[in-house]
Amino acid sequence: MNFLVDANLPDVIVRDLFDDGDTAAYVDDLLPAASSDDAIWDLARAQGWVILSKDADFAIRALRERTVQVVWIRCGNLKLKVFEAWFVARMPAMRRLLDNGEHLVELR
């Protein structure tokens, strides 16, 4: 899978996705800094990226438009190692839901 990681998430996510065999990139590596949500959405739709974000706006849009898959990260602020363990534990379920065509996957 191809994951587009929003700037509000730690870089450990990109590494964990790569380690699991996925392609992952930060929004800021593909678009100018502080790009709009519309620009991020358009890139994801045009190039087949799954957006990973803590931003509720992407989740709402995924339900409304159903053209881009979004993983909505719904944990509070965690220390990096705790966050990484939390995320890695949820990756198999996240992948199953995305493979089944879900447009919004909410990780809690």
Q: Residue 34's pLDDT is what? A: 87
> Based on the structure, what is the number of domains in the chain?
1
Sign of the CA dihedral with 40 first, then 41, 45, and 51 last: positive
Nearest one of 29, 25, 6 to 14, comparing CA atoms:
25
Give the C-alpha separation, 87 to 94, whole Å: 10
Q: What is the dihedral of CA 62, 55, 70, 22, to 10 degrees?
A: 160
Q: What is the CATH number of the domain that holds 61?
A: 3.40.50
pLDDT in tens, 52-80: 999 999 999 999 999 999 999 999 889 99
**Segments of the chain with pLDDT less than 70:** none
- What is the chain's length? 108
- Domain span at residue 103 reads 2-107
- pTM here is 0.95
